[in-house]
A and B are shown apart, each in its own frame.
Chain A
Amino acid sequence: DAGVTQSPTHLIKTRGQQVTLRCSPKSGHDTVSWYQQALGQGPQFIFQYYEEEERQRGNFPDRFSGHQFPNYSSELNVNALLLGDSALYLCASSSAREGLGIEQFFGPGTRLTVL
């Protein structure tokens, strides 16, 4: 049973570019959440997708957008990259029918470096 997978593992971009990160949820899960973890910090909630719609959003600008596909996989897009966007981006999946829909399983993350 595959857990949460993310691609790519590492990514280097320059300021102003755009980036797309990908996530496949744990088998049986229907909800995907994205978190940003800056160096030395705890993860910060970006947004959550359920039934292909953004259900909840954290305090992040519109440069951060996402998508969920019918197979429950998800993408995180960041436009006009800033140096401060350098971080580990974590995807977490959960099921609306298990663990009160709150228990989240995390992928290994994508390390984004913006130069």
Chain B
Amino acid sequence: AQSVTQPDIHITVSEGASLELRCNYSYGATPYLFWYVQSPGQGLQLLLKYFSGDTLVQGIKGFEAEFKRSQSSFNLRKPSVHWSDAAEYFCAVGAGGTSYGKLTFGQGTILTVHP
């Protein structure tokens, strides 16, 4: 069974500081990995995805993530955080084949940005 762990429930950073959100996954085969962002009361917006190939993937809003198979991690990074980045971030793992793309999400990390 696939699972996702986001160790940090809540992270606070200052505007302009760098950001790294951690994500560890458990999956027997090659994972398909996603980061989504959710503003309060809203749905999920896809930030970036990893299917295969280059392990450093670029997303929207200046975010990037690095897939490290040896560490079963897919951490999200941003070099300089903006106040508008305050939201909740979810890491998810998807499975192909007979799982038909079911997504398993982590518990989420709430990001607070101080001015």
Contacts and interface: CB of A to CB of B under 8 A. Distances in A.
Contacts of A41: 107-108
Contacts, number: 75
Interface residues of A, number: 30
Given A90-B44, A108-B43, A101 B36 contact: no
A104 B101 contact: yes
B46 A105 contact: yes
Interface residues of B, number: 27
Contacts of A58: 102
Interface of A: 4, 31, 33, 35, 40-45, 48, 50, 55-56, 58, 90, 92, 94, 99-109, 111
Interface of B: 4, 32, 34, 36, 41-46, 49, 51, 90, 92, 94-96, 99-108
